[in-house]
Amino acid sequence: MQQRQLGRSGLQVSALGLGCMGMSFAYEPIPERGAMIALLRAAVERGVTFFDTAEAYGPFLNEELLGEALAPVRDQVVIATKFGFKTEAFPGLDSRPERIRKVAEAALKRLRTDRIDLFYQHRVDPQVPIEDVAGTVGELIREGKVKHFGLSEAGVAIIRRAHAVQPVAALQSEYSLWTREVETEILPTLQDLGIGFVPFSPLGRGYLTGKLDAATPLAPGDMRTTLPRFTAAARTANLALVVLLTGIAERKQATAAQVALAWLLAQDPCIVPIPGTTKLARLEENIDATALALTPADLQQISSAAAQITVHGARYPASLQQAVNR
């Protein structure tokens, strides 16, 4: 597995990480715990060193899962987790300094570790100055409980203010061929400040793999049933993206998912996508994307064609959209 550095932070990780949320939360049916422990260890055996979780995933169950699975190889991996919600189906935001400290201490226990490698603010809390948030994480870093500070779905002004207090190692936000808003201002800001970028949902929550069309049923409790972009009408309207990826994939003897990931990896050497999966075959398919060579002509064709496609459906319902890119 190739390695990448997240910006100028010095934090080295595998070129592709593993988003672990779906192993215990959000996508029904939730898989069996023992199978997910085996999958996490299989990822390590195949060279993945970067694992993403959060206290809100479960809540708490996902951190506990990673703690058990990765304890035997703790010094070989980088674990990122997050603070910022009140949890219990996360009713509201809370990034008060005392809450951040409480979350850190609890996460250390659940993860069975003495340090959090990357500690993200899960969503920007408008009630707490970002300077207070960055300062608190900075204190945890000096105490040795946290190694690096991250932000998720933050806007340019927040990123700059936070970085001025405590260097931000990475920003995590949604980025894929059907979610490209970060290209306008966010990515140039990260490049300017030397901050790494960790795209979540790089496969469009499964849609860009070509295995989820308008007729594909979503189980009750699957979070995608609440997202405007996953209505049957939107899934039908957005098929042009899948057709584009599938066409390139056939020419490259690859899969649509691999082309989507390879395109992301080619955008910047500081980008480390974290596709999630609960299946070994999909894990191996995603890992193989790191070896897929897209030529400049391929990349231009993909970007130009995608730019002509109008994506239908918002990322989130209005009640959640307001917490994004503050």
Where in the sequence numbering do the catalytic residues fall?
57
Q: How far is 147 from 116, CA to CA, in rounded Å?
A: 6
Q: How far is 90 from 96, CA to CA, in rounded Å?
A: 15
Kind and range of the H or E element at 169?
strand 168-174
User: Which residue from 166, 162, 165, 198 is spatially nearest to 80, judged by alpha carbons?
Assistant: 198
What single-letter amino acid sits at 26? A
Residue 210 near residue 234 (C-beta atoms within 8 A): no
Q: How far is 7 from 193, CA to CA, in rounded Å?
A: 8
> At 79, is the secondary structure helix, strand, or coil?
strand
User: Which residue from 50, 62, 143, 154 is spatially nearest to 100, judged by alpha carbons?
Assistant: 143
- Give the CA-trace dihedral at 92, 97, 99, 100, to 10 degrees: 100
Cβ neighbours around 121 below 10 Å, total: 28
Q: How far is 113 from 90, CA to CA, in rounded Å?
A: 24
> At 183, is the secondary structure helix, strand, or coil?
helix
Q: How far is 72 from 6, CA to CA, in rounded Å?
A: 25
Residues 6+ apart with CB under 8 A from 55: 63, 81, 82, 83, 85, 87, 103, 106, 107, 110
Q: Among the residues of the chain, which ranges form H helices?
A: 33-45, 61-70, 97-110, 130-142, 156-165, 186-193, 232-237, 239-252, 256-265, 280-288, 296-307, 318-321
